[in-house]
Amino acid sequence: MTDLPGIVVTGVSGRMGRMLVDTIVQSPRARLIGAVERSGHDWIGQDVGTAMGGAALGVTVTDDAHGALANAQAVIDFTAPAATVEFAAQAAQARAVHVIGTTGLSDDDLGHLSAAARHAPIIRAGNMSLGVNLLVQLTKRVAAALDDDFDIEVIEAHHNRKVDAPSGTALMLGEAAAEGRGVRLADVRDAGRDGMTGARRRGDIGFTAIRGGDIVGEHDVLFAGTGERITLRHVATDRAVFARGALKAALWGQDKGPGEYDMLDVLGLKDG
C-alpha cells in the first residue's frame, strides 16, 4: 500500500478537487496523502472526507502546500494561475510530478512553469480527456488537408461559473488547427467579435464561447467552405473524465525526468 504514489490535490473544495479526491481514493494504483485549500477556507483543519460530506479519509485539509508536498510523488492542480505558479515551484522543490489542468495562464506564468520544469516533470493540458486529445489530433490533420477556402471556427460551451474564455481546450484546438496550416495562432486568431467588425479575414481561426447552466464541456471545430461544412465535435457529460485523465497523467509521470509534457505524451498520441 505504501509503495503506491502519494498524491496531493490542490483546490480540494472545488468541483474538480472533489472529483479528484473521489477518483484517487477509488484507485488501486495511488494514495491520497494531501489536500490543499487557500488560507482562511472553512475546510482548513477538517478531514477532507468529512468536509465533502462522506466518511473520514485520514487526510486533513491544509493551507500549507509546502508541507503537504514534501513527501508527495505528484500534485494534481486545477486552481488559478497565480496559485499554480506557486505550486509549480513547491512541486519542483519536492521533485514531484505536477499535473496542471489550470487554464488562463499568461506567457509570464508559462515562463515560471518552464523554469520549474527544469527540476521536475510538469504535465499540462487544457483538457485531460482521451476524446479531446484525439480531437486535437484530428483537428490538426483536417486543417492540414484543407486550404484557406475553409474558414475555421472553434466553438466551446461551458457552465456559467467558468471565468476564462476561450477555454483552455478551445485554445488547444486552435493551436492544433494553426499548426496544421503551418501558421502561428497569435497571427490568425479572431476572437471577441461585436458590432461592425467587417468581413472575416481569410485564413483566420475564430473562437466563440458560450456560458450557461451546468454545461460540463462541449467543443466543436467547424471547417466552413463554400457549399459544404465539416464539424468535429467532443461532448463531456461528466467531470470524471478529466479526473481520470489527470490521475493517469500523474501515474505516467512517475518515471519521467524533468521537463514539460502534455496529454498527447501521456496517451502516446504525439506525431513521430
Residue 257 in this model has a pLDDT that exceeds 80: yes
pLDDT in tens, 8-23: 999 999 999 999 999 9
Among 261, 268, 262, 263, residue whose Cα is nearest residue 120: 261
d(CA 248, CA 143): 29
**Ramachandran area for residue 205 (φ above 0: left; ψ -120 to 50: alpha; else beta):** beta
Instruction: For the beta carbon of residue 196, count every other beta carbon within 10 angstroms.
Output: 4
Mean pLDDT check: name the lowest of 26-35, 44-53, 130-139: 130-139
Question: In whole numbers, what is the pLDDT of the chain averaged over residues?
Answer: 95
Decide yes or no: CATH 3.40.50.720 for domain 6-124+239-267.
yes
What pLDDT, on a 0 to 100 scale, did the predictor assign at position 3?
87
Share of the chain above pLDDT 70, in %: 99
Residue 126 in this model has a pLDDT that exceeds 90: no
Task: List the chain domain ranges.
Answer: 6-124+239-267, 130-236
d(CA 135, CA 167): 15
* 114 contacts: CB under 8 Å, gap ≥ 6: 260
Amino acid making up residue 198: G
For residue 85, CA distances in Å to 104, 105, 106, 167, 192 come to 12, 9, 11, 19, 27
Decide yes or no: CATH 3.30.360.10 for domain 130-236.
yes
Residue 225 in this model has a pLDDT that exceeds 80: yes
- Sheet containing strand 74-77, strands side by side: 61-62, 31-36, 6-10, 74-77, 97-100, 121-124, 259-261
What pLDDT, on a 0 to 100 scale, did the predictor assign at position 85?
98
**Ramachandran area for residue 203 (φ above 0: left; ψ -120 to 50: alpha; else beta):** left
Residues 58-70 have a mean pLDDT of 97
What pLDDT, on a 0 to 100 scale, did the predictor assign at position 209?
96
Residues acting as catalytic residues: 158, 162
Residue 272 in this model has a pLDDT that exceeds 60: no
Q: Do domains 6-124+239-267 and 130-236 have the same CATH topology?
A: no
What pLDDT, on a 0 to 100 scale, did the predictor assign at position 254?
97
Mean pLDDT check: name the lowest of 12-26, 126-140, 208-222, 247-261: 126-140
Share of the chain above pLDDT 90, in %: 89
Q: Are 32 and 247 in contact (CB under 8 A)?
A: no
pLDDT in tens, 79-122: 999 999 999 999 999 999 999 999 889 999 999 999 999 999 99
Mean pLDDT check: name the lowest of 140-144, 155-159, 164-168: 164-168
What pLDDT, on a 0 to 100 scale, did the predictor assign at position 271?
66
pLDDT in tens, 166-194: 998 999 999 999 999 999 999 999 987 88
What pLDDT, on a 0 to 100 scale, did the predictor assign at position 8?
98
